[in-house]
Chain A
Amino acid sequence: MATSPALIVCWLGLVLLSVASVQLGNTGGGLLLAGAVLLAALGKAWLIADGFMHLRHAPRLWRGLLLGWPLVVGGLVLLSLWLQRGF
């Protein structure tokens, strides 16, 4: 179970990734940058699920479902951006 210092480290990670994703977004466009922004979002989702929601020691099914959600949705968003180039 996460303790106060671990929770604060999680929060700091979340803040850093949030600032980094805005900075990346301000740099410009492109699929690579979008991928980096979505990767930052996945990192944040992992910190929330394992750190704040205490899923690190939860049954594998539930942890997989919660970690799989941002992976699938983020992947579909990235796929839509990739397909956008073909339209």
Chain B
Amino acid sequence: MDAGGRATQEAKAEVVFQRPGKRLPGDLAMWFFILAELTVFALLIVTFAVAQAWQPALFHASRGALDSSIGLALTLSLLTAGLFAALAQEQVRRGRSQWAGGLLLAALLVASVYVGLKLSEYQHLLGLGLGMEHNSFFTLYWILTGFHFLHVLLGMLILAWLAVRCWRRSQAGDDAVLESGVLYWHMVDLIWVLLFPLVYVLN
């Protein structure tokens, strides 16, 4: 298909998915990817909840090895990185790409607090012998939080790439690539919002 035909097809797709007054930010492909990711995490979260229902005493005792204040610090670092990413998106819309790049760098720095805290928590648990094979709580803890941790690392790579991209460009307006990258980060936040109380808080 030539470039003209592709452009017409993309315009048609926009008509289908963006009714007057309604706009879906980012690429449609990113939204399908987000739905797939949310489905996988939903299965993992529900598995954790069901396992907890079968062994409440074991889950209660095992949760005692986790520090909910660390969980809160992890939450705040993810949400603050999300704020910086959302602010960066706004700056791009206003044509301030350099500012956006700085805000994405700030998001990256705050997200690295999450990585540092999570690694120290993992190290602490391993030091106590609470590895993946210790019991069913820790099996699910390592799978659930480890899988989420990998998503955070990928999100940080995306934020870093977006920051470089912002520093290299200067035009204003909506940027579907930036929106999609930032949406990925917000998805990571959204998953943590349910994962955090389930793993650290609920008894």
Contact = CB atoms under 8 A, between A and B. Distances in A.
Main secondary structure of the interface of B (DSSP, over half): helix
Contact of A80 (B53, B79, B194, B200): B53
A18 B72 contact: yes
B24 A45 contact: no
Contact of B23 (A19, A53, A57, A76): A57
A77 B46 CA distance: 6
Interface size class of chain B, counting residues whose CB lies under 8 Å from the partner chain: 35 or more
A64 to B, nearest CB: 12
In this complex, which of A1, A18, A41, A83 has the most chain B Cβ atoms within 10 angstroms of its Cβ?
A: A18
A8 B79 CA distance: 11
B9 interface: no
Contact of A49 (B46, B85, B190, B194): B190
Contacts of A26: 68
Interface string B167-203: 0000000000000000100100110011011101111
B203 to A, nearest CB: 4
A5 B86 CA distance: 12
Contacts of A28: 203
Given A52-B189, A70-B194, A73-B46, 7 more contacts: A25-B197, A34-B202, A41-B193, A57-B21, A57-B23, A62-B31, A76-B49
25 contacts: A1-B90, A1-B93, A2-B86, A7-B83, A11-B79, A11-B80, A18-B75, A22-B71, A24-B201, A25-B68, A28-B203, A34-B202, A37-B197, A45-B193, A52-B86, A52-B189, A55-B25, A57-B21, A59-B22, A65-B35, A73-B194, A77-B194, A80-B46, A80-B49, A83-B53
